[in-house]
Chain A
Amino acid sequence: MKETKKTYWKGLEQLSNDPEFVKNADREFPELPSTLSEDGNASRRDFLKLMGFSLAAASLAACEAPVRKAIPYVNKPVDINPSIPNYYASTFASGGNYASIVVKTREGRPIKIDGNELSPINKGKVNAIVEASVLSLYDKERLTGPYLGGQKTDWSSLDAEVKSKLAAAGSVKVVANTILSPTTEKALQQFSDAFGAEVIMYDPLSNYGIAKASETYYGQAVVPSYFFDKAKTIVSFGADFLGSWISPIEFAGQYAKTRKISKENPVMSRHFQFESNLSLTGANADYRTPIKASQSGLAVLALYNMIASKAGASTVSAPAVEVAHLEKAANELWANRGASLVVSGSNDPNVQTVVHAINELLGNNGSTVDFGSPVNFRKGNDAEMNQFVTDLNAGRIGAVVFYNCNPVYDHPRGAEIAEGIGKARFSVATNMTMDETSSLVQAIAPDHHYLESWNDFEPKPGHFSLSQPTISPLFDTRQAQDSFLVWAGDNTSYYDFLQQSWESSLFTQIETGGEFQEFWDQSLYNGVLAIERESAVVSPVGDVAAAASAVARTYSADNSGAELVVYTKVAIGNGTFANNPWLQETPDPISKATWDNYLTVSQKWATENGVAMVEENTRKATINVNGKQLTVPVLIQPGQAEGTFGLALGYGRTKAGRVGNGVGVNAYELLDASAGFVNFDITSGVTVEVTADTYKIARTQTHQTFMGRENVIQEATLAEYKQDASAGRYKPEIYKEGEFVKPSKISLWKGHQYSQHHWGLAIDMNSCIGCSACSVACQVENNVAVVGKQEVLNRREMAWIRIDRYYSSDAAADDLDGLEKASENPEVTFQPMMCQQCNNAPCETVCPVAATTHSSEGLNQMTYNRCIGTRYCANNCPYKVRRFNWFKYHDNSQFAGVNVAQNDDLGKMVLNPDVTVRARGVMEKCSMCVQRIQAGKLEAKREKRKVKDGDINVACAVACPTDALVFGDMNDPESRISKLLKIEENTTSALKEVNEERAYHVLEEINVSPNVWYFTKIRNKDKNEA
């Protein structure tokens, strides 16, 4: 039984037992009109019409089938065989996000992106944005050719015009996001030499503060490498390093290493988070303290003083601030000095200087944070960009070239840039779409999509990677680097330029002695290349005193005004990919909201202002920030620091395309860059007023509930786990013939025999950080439809894998005060939930047409062409993981605006040809990537061997940056999953004796015997407290 009095809740309405919630929770399917037009009941006439139509359709179907063509190549390329996928190593990089990837192509079309396991940075892992980026290749709103003065033109006239205008322009500026490519920089150098141009880099999600602080403190303007895997104590002040901060895929992998525990090695890091919004990282912290943004600088100073006094260094004067757990954090940091890490999400260089000083005092420089091997991810310089905007508006700039960036949208001074572009004599953009910036320039030379391009990258010194085209250019576009070279008067193609660059620089350094071609081919095949670089020891040259006094001045311990903390969501990111419906429909891991941004507010504020949120219904509020005003819906967010508000970036696009336009509001407008850096924490001049307008936010959080059954989440603290490895486990027992036995000992069923394979999935809730990479990967792999905001509101989202987010707290929530207390700072647990592939599957027994049946390998099969849509199976599913196709989502104009992958001719190119696109009226669910299982088995059979562990893997597990999901054959004693679950006996029975103490079945008591196992969540807390 449960040992604590914790209550688990998915949303505040569940906690408060709102009658509306209870009503919906009791229903399997919401009662909603089943037609889109909502025009009442079907009449007798409709029935006759339908009958007539079906008769006509049946007789038509009886006619001769249409002639179908089979068109082979004229000259078949050697590498391309229809139906056999090819894989190419490449690289994703956008706005400072980086991942070395492997692109799966079918019949010459890229259809899926996985991580490149050879990469030392992202180690074969990806995140939601990288996964989804393949769809943007097939965006029919991409520019199809060059534009001059708003008219389509050809490349030669564009080049002539650009060359002559640039030559006559005088001062030429190139504006770009962080450029990770050394060869692109060379090409830009040629361009700069030809026109006397200057390159200005900025990042929408700026980390300029860190670089600036490094310059002050270490004398080098660099962003250091961080090694979370080496840290035993992690303290983060608002840095969302698992979601959006600098290099989240890399950090998530490192972090997860410190969270994997076993009985033999019960060691894990302890993570303190001090933040205003409940971030993804904060949700994973062991100790989270909500603090105001205005206090964060002082909290950092206080920590500095605590550490300094332990280290015997001089302390600085700072106003006192009361922050829970800070002292404890300081003690543990000191105890683990050299193996601890302090990070801050602030972009204020002064705060970052103090953070650098803390790490220096702790001896972390060189171990967990390394300034000797800095990263190139965020090289943007806010000060230069600021100067550029000022110059542009003053008419001091002759010509401006926007290299794949969109500052009109994603820079705080976007409006000024929009105004200033006209003041330059000439303006060019290489953007792929007609976005907020490119629609204002005189000439557009659209770049290829990255999957059509050649390029190289150097994310960290000595770490190189290449990108290569995986498809011929779809449109009459040209790689931007080619454009720069042509304009500079160099007619070398960028591909040759790239090879020459590698031959002259890297090939000479590597000293293999072979042919260059061999070296090039090998590098291209691997996708990555590492060259050993000396890591210099960097010592402080600056002083912390100046920064500390600046921090003491700017921050205050008791700001009574409202504060706005602007954050980034894991799926939408900085908004570049806002036109990607896969990302728009991915629920935010914390709020579970799709298709919107909103003002996150605390329960206390909501109570005071009379805002109550029931399910999706909420009110709008007006936020006023130093004269700039936006009207946004309000979302009550447990864990939101009192007096603060959160608003996500990446929304409010006006020219993203039909999917992204008008979704949410643009929070970049509220940011302030006047202090020399882009400030994401606005601590003064903020007012928020509730309006009378109501609004609906499409949240998935309370959909598909477990009907109030407890023990879905099982957790313990590390101390408890050390004493008893099965701590926190709920072990139901059932009375049978005089004794209490495990539920699995009583069954109506004879039990299946799995003679060859027994597929299973083990999910470690301790490693799952909730990042949603798995759900996007599943969407891509399995052709899962996007349904749009209205249908999500109707509770009809189609995701096969959802990440259930549970809050827990031990406060009672019987009144508003209790509710406030419970939602002040709840613990968070993430639980990925997909079809559990039950051995005693309740869905199978109720299907009247045997459309869902059991396989001899432990899979619960769903046969779409047999399904008649009774939905009995979904009714009977205790896990609520079955999805019904309420509409025909493909080839349907009503969904063309959101479900682009199944409606556009171009979008359909991304579909996985091995998976059926489901029709209206059938049920669907996770198939455990049966197409991959079948393909893996076939390969083994062709090679006359057994299936090796790792040959077959499901899409979600491949994508997972923290390895929280492990898939494999439980009949194979050597497989990773058998070892994880400690299955010792070798049996063909469906019921395996699992000896791992942490492993449990969700809802074990009903004995449906799932093939998906969960591992208890272990928190590194001293005692069980929320």
Chain B
Amino acid sequence: MLSKRSLVGVPLKFHTLALLFLLFLGGQAFAVDPAVSDSEEAIAAGKTVFNANCKQCHKLDQKAVGPALRGITDRRSPDWAKSFIKNSQAVIASGDDYANALYAEYNNLMMPSHEFLSDADLDNLLSYIEYGDKVDPAAAAAATAGAAGGEGAGGGIPTEYLTIIVVVLVIVLLLILIVLGLIISILTKYVNKQDLDEDDKEFISQKFQLGKVLKSDAFVIIVTALVVALVAKTAIDGLYSVGVQQGYAPTQPIAYSHALHAGTLEIECQYCHTGVEIGKSANIPSANICMNCHMHVQNVQGQEGVSPEIQKIYDAIDNNQPIEWVRVHNLPDLAYFNHSQHVKVGGIECQTCHGPIQEMEVVYQYSSLTMGWCIDCHRQTEIAAGGNEYYDKLVQLHADSKDALKVKDIGGLECAKCHY
């Protein structure tokens, strides 16, 4: 990102570093400020509040829909911050310069009021904003590198290398063939110079007769068998893939990007997919959920006017016409699947089944969603039994076993778990 602007890159970089340095110092300085606690509990509690209420629009160290928050208690007093969080419009209306400047800077976007947050919540929130999830640049770089390395090691040989290796191997094989051919011709010449009896001569001058080979029973049988096997394999594969829509990526009525919302903006999946922890279906968000943010956000950052895609939400609301999304994941009616069992109880990440959703511009079906795929996972997945009283007896009965308690051990492979 910075390399593209080589001319301003250096000062910018310097500026950023300086800022980070200052922030770091600031953090140190405020560590003694009794107004903002740096206790672990406060930060953890603050994170919960942040994720539930702020994360949709704010980041700690970057501008998002709203400004970066870290250092707010440095820039303003904690009390100011609290009253602004509670009711920003009141602070703006009171004529506060800083508030009005902020309001203007962010295109007069109104921040919803948070009167329901208690003082304790706000204290914790400020603690989190100040001390939570600090990214040390060096550590971050190392972590990225480590992650990249880890990926290489974990995934075995990368595909591009694989191709190269195959090509090299083929070349080597060809070379060997040529060398062998040469050796044969040299040897033949050498043998021909010798005195030989008839049999040996016949053997040496023997010609390779293609026709004979082609007509031989063995060849016909082998070829037929191969063809039959190939056709059968194709047919079986074809039949198995009937109804499997892996990779299905229909065009949606709104060009909604998960990469932007879930990836860049890091909005929690549950914010929109409200049913995922409570019910069978994760729920496609209703238009009023979109409006929570798009009441304020009318375009991608930095662009003027109302985005035509966002306009479609406004039209839906105005005309009371629901948005007809195209369903991507279609399980057959005979299979019962419940999101809350997997997400809330099992603690499975969304990405486990839905893939790198935070990178998808257009959502596609990542997994095959076949029964084999379900069963494989049930065979391998351990039960998240920790702290869940429901599983106590099962864990206790399983204690003697060497293997961990897996879904298969508690009936996860039984028909009536999904079919009824």
Chain A interfacial positions (CB closer than 8 Å to B): 61-62, 65, 67-76, 81-84, 755-756, 851, 853, 855-857, 859, 861-866, 914-916, 927, 930-931, 934, 937-938, 940-942, 944-947, 988
Chain B residues in contact with chain A, CB under 8 A? Answer: 238, 242-243, 245, 250, 274-275, 277-281, 283-289, 316-317, 320-327, 330, 332-334, 336, 338, 340-341, 344-345, 387-394, 397, 410-411, 414-417, 419-420
Interface pair B238/A62, CB less than 8 Å apart: yes
Contact A84-B275, Cβ < 8 Å, known A68-B330, A72-B285, A74-B317: yes
Q: Could you jot down 7 A-B contacts, CB within 8 Å? A: A72-B323, A74-B316, A82-B283, A855-B411, A915-B420, A930-B416, A941-B391
Residue of B nearest to A75 (CB): B288
CA distance A410 to B389 in the complex (A): 58
A65 touches B414 (CB 8 A): no
Check A916/B284 contact, CB under 8 A, given A74-B317, A81-B275, A861-B416: no
B284 and A70 form a contact (CB under 8 A): yes
| Complex Cα–Cα for A861 and B418 (A) | 11
Q: Are A71 and B322 in touch, CB under 8 angstroms?
A: yes
Let me know if B321 and A74 touch, CB within 8 A: yes
B287–A940 contact, CB under 8 A?
no
Per the bound structure, the CA–CA distance linking A915 and B280 in Å amounts to 13
CB-based contact A855/B416 at 8 Å: yes
- B242 touching A61, Cβ below 8 Å: yes
Residue of A nearest to B291 (CB): A75
Cross-chain contact A944 with B322 (CB below 8 angstroms): no
What is the bound-complex CA distance between A946 and B396, given in angstroms?
14
Given A68-B326, A756-B393, is A938 in contact with B340 using a C-beta cutoff of 8 Å?
A: yes
Contact A942–B344 (Cβ < 8 Å): yes
* Cα distance, A528 to B344, chains bound together (Å): 36
**Are B279 and A83 within 8 A (Cβ)?**
yes
B287 surroundings in chain A (CB, below 8 A) = 72-75
Q: Closest 3 interchain pairs by CB?
A: A83-B280, A861-B416, A76-B286
Q: Are A69 and B420 in contact (CB under 8 A)?
A: no
- Given A72-B322, A73-B286, A81-B275, A947–B327 Cβ distance below 8 Å? no
Do A946 and B390 have beta carbons less than 8 Å apart? yes
A861-B420, A938-B345 given; 14 more Cβ-contact pairs under 8 Å = A73-B322, A75-B317, A755-B393, A756-B410, A851-B415, A856-B410, A863-B419, A865-B419, A930-B420, A937-B390, A942-B278, A944-B387, A944-B390, A945-B389
Question: Are A71 and B275 closer than 8 Å at their CB atoms?
Answer: no
Residue pair A81, B278 in contact (C-beta under 8 Å)? yes
Complex formed: what's the CA distance from A716 to B146 in Å?
Answer: 79
Contacts of A934 in B (CB 8 A): 336, 417, 420
Say yes or no: A68 contacts B333, CB within 8 Å: no
Known pairs A61-B242, A915-B420, A927-B420; A755 contacts B390 (CB<8 A)? no
In the bound complex, residues from chain B placing their C-beta under 8 Å from that of A62 are: 238, 242
B320 neighbours in A (Cβ, 8 Å): 74
Question: How far apart are the CA atoms of A65 and B327 in the complex, in Å?
Answer: 11
Which of A864, A914, A930, A941 is most buried by chain B, counting CB atoms within 10 A of its CB?
Answer: A941
Q: Is the CB–CB distance between A72 and B284 below 8 Å?
A: yes
Residue in A closest to B333 when the chains form the complex, CB atoms: A916
What's the nearest-Cβ distance from chain A to residue B340, in Å? 6
- What chain B residues lie within 8 Å of A988 (beta carbons)? 397
Residues of A with C-beta under 8 A to B288: 73-76
- Name the B residues within 8 Å of A70 (CB-CB): 284, 325-327
A931-B394 contact given A65-B245, A74-B322, A81-B283, CB 8 Å threshold: no
Q: Is A71 in contact with B323, judged by CB distance below 8 angstroms?
A: yes
Q: How far is the CA of A863 from the CA of B242 in the complex (A)?
A: 21
Q: Please classify the interface of chain B as helix (H, G, I), strand (E, B), loop, or mixed, using the class held by over half of its residues.
A: loop
**Structural contact, A861 and B393, CB atoms closer than 8 A:** no
Flag if A946 contacts B389 (CB, 8 Å). Answer: yes
Residue from the list B243, B250, B390 in contact with A947, Cβ < 8 A: B390
In the complex, what distance in Å separates the CA atom of A857 from the CA atom of B289? 41
Instruction: Using known A-B contacts A75-B286, A915-B420, A941-B390, determine if residue A853 contacts B243 with beta carbons closer than 8 Å.
Output: no
CA distance A84 to B276 in the complex (A): 11
Q: When chains A and B are docked, how far (Å) is the Cα of A520 from the Cα of B292? A: 32
- Residues on A with C-beta less than 8 A from B388 are 941, 944
Complex: chain A residue closest to B412, CB-CB: A856
Determine the distance from Cα of A853 to Cα of B288 in the docked complex, in whole angstroms.
Answer: 46
Q: How far is the CA of A198 from the CA of B326 in the complex (A)?
A: 58
A83 to B: closest C-beta gap in Å: 4
> Which residues of chain A are within 8 angstroms of B410 by Cβ–Cβ distance?
755-756, 856
CB distance from A851 to the nearest CB of B (A): 8
Q: Please indicate the chain A residues that have their CB under 8 angstroms from the CB of B332 in the complex.
A: 865
A916 CB contacts on chain B under 8 angstroms: 333-334, 419-420
Nearest A residue to B419 by beta-carbon distance? A863
Nearest opposing residue in chain A for B313, CB measure:
A74
Q: In the complex, are the beta carbons of A941 and B284 less than 8 A apart?
A: no
Given that A65-B245, A74-B316, A863-B415 are contacting pairs, would A755 and B397 also be in contact in the complex, using a CB cutoff of 8 Å? Answer: yes
- Which one, B325, B391, B419, contacts A71 given CB within 8 A? B325
Closest to B289 in A: A76
**Is A853 touching B414 in the complex (CB atoms < 8 A)?**
yes
Nearest B residue to A62 via CB reads B242
CA distance A851 to B416 in the complex (A): 10
A763 to B243, CA, bound (A): 45
User: How far is A930 from B321 in the complex, measured between Cα atoms in Å?
Assistant: 38
Q: How far is the CB of B8 from chain A (nearest CB, A)?
A: 45
Residues of B within 8 A of A69 (CB): 324-327
Contact A856 B390 (CB under 8 A): no
Minimum CB–CB distance from B250 to chain A (whole Å) comes to 7
Min distance, Cβ B335 to any Cβ of chain A, angstroms: 8
Contact of B393 with A74 in the complex, beta carbons under 8 Å: no
Q: Give chain B residues whose Cβ lies under 8 Å from the Cβ of A938.
A: 338, 340-341, 345
Q: How far does the alpha carbon of A930 sit from the alpha carbon of B420 in the complex, in Å? A: 7
Q: Are B414 and A856 neighbours in the complex by a CB distance under 8 Å?
A: yes
Asked if residues A65 and B243 are in contact (CB atoms below 8 Å), the reply is: yes
Q: Closest CB-CB distance, A139 to chain B, in whole Å?
A: 25
B414 and A855 contact, CB distance less than 8 A: yes
Contact A861 B245 (CB under 8 A): no
Complex Cα distance, B335 from A915, in Å, reads 10
Query: Once the chains bind, are B416 and A941 in contact (CB under 8 Å)?
Result: no
Q: Which residues of B contact A940 (CB under 8 A)?
A: 390
Q: Report Cα–Cα, A859/B411, bound state, in Å.
A: 12
A985 to chain B, nearest CB (A): 16
Taking the closest CB of chain B, its distance from the CB of A936, in whole angstroms, is: 11
B381 CB to nearest chain A CB (Å): 15
Q: How far is the CB of B337 from chain A (nearest CB, A)?
A: 10
A598 vs chain B, min Cβ distance (A): 38
Specify which of A915, A937, A944 lies most central, judged by the most chain B CB atoms within 10 Å of its CB: A944
The distance in angstroms between the C-alpha atoms of A947 and B417, with both chains bound, is 17
Distance of A9 Cα from B393 Cα, bound (Å): 47
**C-alpha spacing A422/B286, complex, angstroms:** 54
Q: State the CA gap A851–B414 with chains docked (Å).
A: 11
Contacts of B419 in A (CB 8 A): 861, 863-866, 916
Q: Which residues of B contact A944 (CB under 8 A)?
A: 387-390
Question: Using Cβ atoms and an 8 Å threshold, which residues of chain B touch A859?
Answer: 416
* Cα(A71)–Cα(B284), bound, Å: 8
Which residue of chain B is the closest to A931 with respect to CB atoms?
A: B420
Are A864 and B334 also in contact (CB < 8 A) when A76-B289, A941-B388 are?
yes
CB distance from B374 to the nearest CB of A (A): 13
| Complex: A81 Cα to B283 Cα, angstroms | 8
Residues of A near B283 (CB, < 8 A) are 72, 81-82
Residue numbers in A under 8 Å from B277 (CB-CB): 942
Roughly how many angstroms separate A84 CA and B340 CA in the complex, as a whole number?
A: 11
Q: Give bound CA distance, A71 to B316, whole Å.
A: 12
